[in-house]
Amino acid sequence: MRATEIVVWILAAIGVLALTGAAFMGIDISELVILLLFAVVTLVLGRLIANDRDRTWLPGFLLAGFLIKMVGSGLRYYVYLYIYLSQGDAGRYHGIGTSLAGVWRDLQVPSLEGSRGSGTRVLEMITGLLYTPFEPSLLGGFLIFAMLGFLGQILFYVAFRRALPHGRLKLYAVLVLFLPGLAFWPSSVGKDAVMMLFLGAAAYGATRLLHDYYLKWIVVIVFGVLGAAAIRPHIGALVVGALVGSMLLAKAPDGTAARVRRWGLIAVMGLGLVLTLTFSAQRLGLDPTDPEFDPFLDELARRTSEGGSTVEGQPILSISDVPQGVLRVMFRPLIFEASNTLTLISGIEGTALLALILWRLPRMVRNAGWLRRTPYLMYSLLYVIAFVVIFSPVLNLGILARQRTQMLPMLLALVVGLGWAPSDKERQEPSPRAAVPARTNG
């Protein structure tokens, strides 16, 4: 058994022990049933989606990742109850979702009115729909939403495997399934878990669409984009923009028919970009005809500079703003900035990611030509760049640690896809052959 597989099974054992401990500490039987059902679904899903390259290890990886995800959800529940003292949106989403479940059972669609914002109301409606067959406790709701986020992580892995079938699949699986931030933040009743599912669906649709440019994959992308835009419209616009940009910048496919389909899809997705940008501007209170965004940026910085996790900084408005903006949005808090256990975990993760990227950066630069030949990597690059720019006005490191989970799977795809791929020079060099001693008869 290889070292990575041993680590996975150790993590799985830790997850089992943690869940067993939770059972003895008073976890309700309904939550145990939910966990058992989701574990079976994960095992079945692992065997269904595995192919010749990952059939021997993917089911075990998914089961271990599921257990870690459920532990992360339990920790998120503990933090919500005992550190945040139940102050947050999770309890409100749970309560309203429980009441809306009755509306769904009557085969009626709840009204979009009556909440603080349409994105919030959509999340409440989704919560009610999920609770329709069974109304769980708050902890059960956390576990259900954690499973939605985990399905999104699986979709990111499948998208990466489709785009780079000969890439370092096991390494990417370890990162996208076991990264602490992805196991913890999108694992509660709220927008983050649902966004992970929608973004994973959009990523899978994108990698299929960018491979052959067949219109049928638009359905998967529309599901992901509409879901993301309904909750966080700026993220939906970001996905469409990255997709259009990757279709324009990546290498055109071979064949006249494929190129015609490509330009037709560029036109369709370009229209979708205009619509999502307009919708996002309206939701954010921006005037698309007004080029002056400084008041909006100042207000956003003010609103996100409250609390104990705020730092100094400014939006990325010029080249000189890039280093501090990239460092803050993608990696901070660093380990030496930690002030409590939660920020220490985020600091370890951010510092490790920064070290990983710096380690592989020379090879990533040498392999930059892969971006045009692998459209999904171009899509990931454009998404990460736009994400950093959009969130650069945010000065609260706690908010950034949670929000960046919407970007991490694409960042990891870039690091693994470019950082471990052989360079063009290495691919052209003949592989050395070991000397074989001459065979003698007798």
Q: How confident is the model at residue 9 (pLDDT cuts 50, 70, 90)?
A: low
Is the pLDDT at 28 greater than 90, yes or no? no
CA pair distance 343, 397, nearest whole angstrom: 9
Q: Who has greater pLDDT, 439 or 164?
A: 164
- Residue bearing the bigger pLDDT, 78 or 303: 78
What pLDDT sits at residue 32? Answer: 77
Query: Is residue 24 in a domain?
Result: yes
Residue 232 inside a domain? The answer is yes
Complete DSSP assignment for 315-333: ---SGGGHHHHHHHHHTPS
Q: How many CA atoms, within 13 angstroms, populate the side-chain half-sphere of residue 340?
A: 6
Q: Please, how many CA atoms are within 13 Å of residue 415, restricted to the half-sphere of its CB?
A: 21
Q: Which helix (H) or strand (E) holds 262?
A: helix 256-284
Cα gap 401→315, rounded to integer Å: 17
Q: According to the model, what pLDDT value does residue 432 have?
A: 44
**263 found inside a domain:** yes
Cα–Cα nearest to 115, from 92, 91, 90: 92
How many distinct structural domains can be found in the chain? Answer: 1
Res. 171 pLDDT band, cuts 50 70 90: very high
Establish if 131 belongs to a structural domain. Answer: no
Is the CB of residue 350 less than 8 Å from the CB of residue 343?
Answer: no
386 occurs within a structural domain: yes
Alpha-carbon radius of gyration of the chain = 23
Give the domain extent around 26.
Answer: 3-87+136-288+321-421
- Is 257 within the bounds of a domain? yes
158 and 208 Cβ atoms separated by less than 8 Å: no
Q: What percent of the chain has pLDDT over 90?
A: 58
pLDDT confidence bin for 35, thresholds 50/70/90: confident
Cβ burial 227-239 (10 Å sphere, 16+ → b, else e): bbbbbbbbbbbbb
For residue 349, is it within any domain?
Answer: yes
Separation of alpha carbons 266 and 254, rounded Å: 16
Answer whether 211's CB lies under 8 Å from 114's CB: no
pLDDT value at residue 440 = 40
161 phi, psi to nearest 5 deg: -65, -35
CA nearest 190: which of 141, 155, 227?
141
Share the mean pLDDT of the chain: 86
Tens digits of residue pLDDT in 264-284: 999 999 999 999 888 888 777
Contacts of 277 (CB under 8 A, 6+ apart): 237, 241, 288
Q: Is residue 9 part of a domain?
A: yes
Q: What is the mean pLDDT of residues 349-368?
A: 95
391-442: per-residue pLDDT in tens?
999 999 989 999 999 999 999 999 999 999 776 666 666 544 444 444 444 4
The C-alpha atoms of residue 171 and residue 160 are separated, in whole angstroms, by 11
What sign does the dihedral 94-133-126-106 (CA atoms) show?
negative
Percent of the chain with pLDDT over 70: 83
Sorted by sequence, the CB contacts under 8 Å of residue 437 that are 6+ apart come out as none
